Amino acid sequence: MENKEITHRKITTATRPTKPEEYRDHYYPKTEILGDDEMRITALGTGMPNLRPSQASAAWLVELGNGDTFFFDIGTGCIAGFASTMVSYNRANKVFLSHLHSDHCGDLPALWIGGWVANRATPVYVWGPSGSRPELGTAYFVEHLRKAYTWDIESRHAGGLLQPPSEIIVEEFDYSKTQVVYEENGVTVTAFPAIHILDGPVSFRLDWNGLSFVYSGDTHANRWYVENGQNADVAVHESFITVPQLMEKQGFPEAQAVKIGTEVHTSPEACGEVFAAINPRLAVAYHFFNDWDTAPDIRDALKSTYDGPLVLATDNMVFNVTKEYIKTRMMVAAEDIWPPESAQEAAERDEVMHFGGRGWNYDPDKMSEWLVEGQLHD
């Protein structure tokens, strides 16, 4: 009964906290109005490439007080967590990809197609790195994603869904340069090289209103993150599980565990060195299964090289960031969620439908006549 009462309150009450003590111990979506000068970061996916119910693959949602919303990576399984945030698909249509491993980009179709079905009225916009060859870049990935979903797209067009939201608009940038890749509405996103197996991976820094969020996908500890992460408000960096844990939990031989845990990815000790070099207000380590028997070893290893403020991330962790404070807590994730939509968003969708879309009419001419004739009812 108590949980139901809390659920009822969280749906019907909205406040704008202005001090740390005014925040509830947990974050209930739709109960707090984001301040004009505030950033909210939600960990949607903090786990490993192999999925489990408690942790999706890499994905972080950043909401700003100016109304903008961004994904940084969109790994497999994360969109279920995104639904729990109750953020409109019309707001969350901008995705920044660090690289093209499935555990960092695998739920892009779920946002793209799922948001379209949920009446998103805009395309999805994707920013991602080039590769050493065209077929290793983000534009190639998205082009072939469209091709793979050809039946899905054509069937939904025939079923009456709007044309504009079926599009993915790609901005591919040179992975080898430190450069601004997005600058709009007071928000700047800078991309810079990362080190991970092949040419192509990058990390990002978002700056807005005097606040900063710095994010690594997969990477070996590198100078570019140190250069661009200086004095970040929130610095998120991968810290893979330890070599003994890779051997025990994943069954890797020692030589392979050493390579994966210390060369392909960032070890906890090396992650701590990066945090120590950039001096963030809050350091956030992720990309490991955060369990009772793994977290202590990872924390100890991180703390052996870094003694500042540190959080070991897990899914549904929320960070409210202002210039005065950072509030860290867990989101109470409602599971039975329908896509949220405001009256304004509905009006915008209807405008697209009438003046730029295809309308709602079902088109049976796209189906073979003998299939149409097989209907039990006209």
Instruction: Point out the least confidently predicted range of 136-145, 252-261, 273-282.
Output: 252-261
Assigned domain for 377 exists: no
> Please, where are the H alpha helices in 223-331?
223-228, 243-250, 254-259, 268-278, 295-303
Phi, psi of 205 (to 5 degrees): -130, 125
The whole-number pLDDT of residue 7 equals 42
Q: Are 217 and 201 in contact (CB under 8 A)?
A: yes
Closest CA relative to residue 285, chosen from 308, 311, 306:
311
The whole-number pLDDT of residue 311 equals 98
Could you give the number of structural domains in the chain? Answer: 1
pLDDT band, very low/low/confident/very high, at 334 (cuts 50, 70, 90): confident
The yes-or-no verdict on residue 360 having pLDDT over 70 is no
Assigned domain for 266 exists: yes
What is the identity of the amino acid at 90? N
The whole-number pLDDT of residue 373 equals 82
Please indicate whether residue 101 or residue 333 has the higher confidence score (pLDDT). 101
The yes-or-no verdict on residue 287 having pLDDT over 90 is yes
The whole-number pLDDT of residue 340 equals 77
What is the identity of the amino acid at 337? I
Assigned domain for 128 exists: yes
What predicted TM-score, i.e. pTM, was given to this entire model? 0.91
Assigned domain for 88 exists: yes
CATH number at residue 69: 3.60.15.10
State the average pLDDT over residues 310-319: 98
Assigned domain for 361 exists: no
Integer Cα distance of 175 and 187 in angstroms: 20
* Pair type for strands 26-27 and 39-45: unpaired
Assigned domain for 114 exists: yes
Instruction: Point out the least confidently predicted range of 11-25, 71-85, 332-346.
Output: 332-346
The yes-or-no verdict on residue 80 having pLDDT over 70 is yes
The yes-or-no verdict on residue 361 having pLDDT over 70 is no
State the average pLDDT over residues 331-355: 68
Assigned domain for 17 exists: no
Mean pLDDT of the chain: 90
* pLDDT, tens digit, 9 for 90 and up, residues 155-167: 988 888 888 889 9
Task: Please report where in the chains the tokens 């430190």 appear, as a residue.
Answer: 178
The yes-or-no verdict on residue 282 having pLDDT over 90 is yes
DSSP run (H or E) holding 126: strand 124-129
Assigned domain for 181 exists: yes
Domain interval for residue 321? 23-349
Closest CA relative to residue 302, chosen from 248, 259, 240:
240
State the average pLDDT over residues 341-357: 55
pLDDT band, very low/low/confident/very high, at 368 (cuts 50, 70, 90): confident
Tallying the residues shown for the chain, one arrives at 378
4 burial via Cβ count (<10 Å: 0-12, 13-18, 19+): exposed
The yes-or-no verdict on residue 378 having pLDDT over 80 is no
The whole-number pLDDT of residue 342 equals 59
Please indicate whether residue 371 or residue 5 has the higher confidence score (pLDDT). 371
CA distance readout (Å), 2 to 6, 7, 9:
6, 9, 11
The whole-number pLDDT of residue 227 equals 98
Please give the share of the chain, as a percent, with pLDDT higher than 70.
90
Integer Cα distance of 366 and 154 in angstroms: 9
Q: Are 140 and 134 in contact (CB under 8 A)?
A: yes
